[in-house]
Structure 1
């Protein structure tokens, strides 16, 4: 199963919270105890168990392109599913 790694540009985030509602596993939350340089509460990744699937919905919905998602696929999963996806 694929996992995701989310990178958030907290300085540019305006705290709209669209990403938190778009995230299927619910690993994004607003940092209500923190303000960025622009005076907004930025989004924060809270994923200690590694539930992020790397779907990228948060990055797609972010109006300011503050989120980048990297999808990490294990070598074992790639080897098993690679040929099937390639049509071999």
Structure 2
């Protein structure tokens, strides 16, 4: 499994409650794709969201978002975890 950071550049009408609900739906779907959405960060003012995810590949990570809530990331980048 690889680690990825996905970025949503502008989610219209983003609120803390909305992003928490979307993350919860990711958690409900992720096992079907062998994915583990670990953490998310967001900026309500800009609508930007970052999600840290462990997945077999970027397509599997995107599939979870697509099924869970339809908000597919604009970019999905492989990352290495630092110490």
Give the alignment's TM-score, normalised by structure 2: 0.41
Richer in strand (by share)? 2
More RCO (CA 8 Å, sep 6+): 2
Larger Rg: 1
